[in-house]
Structure formats: C-alpha cells, structure tokens
Amino acid sequence: MQLTELYREVILDHNKHPRNFGRLDPHDAEAKGHNPLCGDRLTITLQREGDRVADLRFEGNGCAISMASASMMTEAVKGKDSATIHALFQRVHALLTGQGDSNADLGKLASLSGVREFPARVKCATLCWHTLNA
C-alpha cells in the first residue's frame, strides 16, 4: 500500500469514527473555533489536572480534514502537559506547512502531511490546535 493511500485511509477512518467526540461535562474550559474559508466549526471542552489536559472532547462539523485532525489531536494530547502539547503543535504545524519533513514519531498525525499540497486546507487541519490553544 502506498503511504499516501494509507494516510488517506487514516483520515477517512477518523472522519467516519471520530475519537473523543461530544461534550465533556463538567469541564474546566471550553473554546469554539471557526474556519470561515471552509465553514468548519469546532467546540472543545476539557478538564485540567494541574498543567495537564486530563480529558477532552470535541464536537462540531466541517470537512473530513478538520474532523479527522481534531479526532487525532484529542488522542495525541490527552494526558499531556501544556509544554508538551505546544511542542507537538509546532511540529505538526511545520509538517503541514512543509517547513519540516520529519514525520518521525508524530504517529497518526503524520497522515495529515498531504495537506501541504493544498495550502487552503492547512487552516482546516490547524483549526483544532488553535481552538485547543484558546
């Protein structure tokens, strides 16, 4: 199987079966994100434990890239502290914009690397990270 084909499968799977989808209640923080270029909308609710994201959920609707990216992000950041999450986002952003080509140990998030061929879709893929940051 071609790597791009594998990546496409991962994205379609996460779009069809989003992980951590819904609302977390009670929650400590809530943020909404909107990507007007595509119409993607997201709401993230999360619970903190000290500096760590103890648990989080997302809900909303949008294109496959935005939904799959949010689904994979929730899996990647759960249980992590804010410094680790920030560093992860830097690497994902570099991957998406083609400034970094180290897919190594980004796990499933690397499947979004195809987005760099479509600059307009980068905002779809990063919406969840900006929302999490907010």
Nearest residue to 94 via CA among 116, 72, 64, 124 = 116
**Paired tokens of 34:** 């909107």
**Paired tokens of 83:** 């410094």
For residue 65, report the phi and psi dihedrals to the nearest 5 degrees.
-65, -45
Question: Cβ 67 to Zn ion, closest distance in Å?
Answer: 8
Q: Which of 7, 20, 40, 109 binds Zn ion (CB under 5 A)?
A: 40
Residues from 57 through 86 that contact Zn ion (CB under 5 A)? 62-63, 66
Q: Say how many residues make up the chain.
A: 134
Give the nearer residue to Zn ion in terms of CB position, either 60 or 62.
62
Q: Which of 72, 124, 125, 132 binds Zn ion (CB under 5 A)?
A: 124
Q: Which spans of this chain sit near Zn ion (rule: CB under 5 A)?
A: 38, 40, 62-63, 66, 124
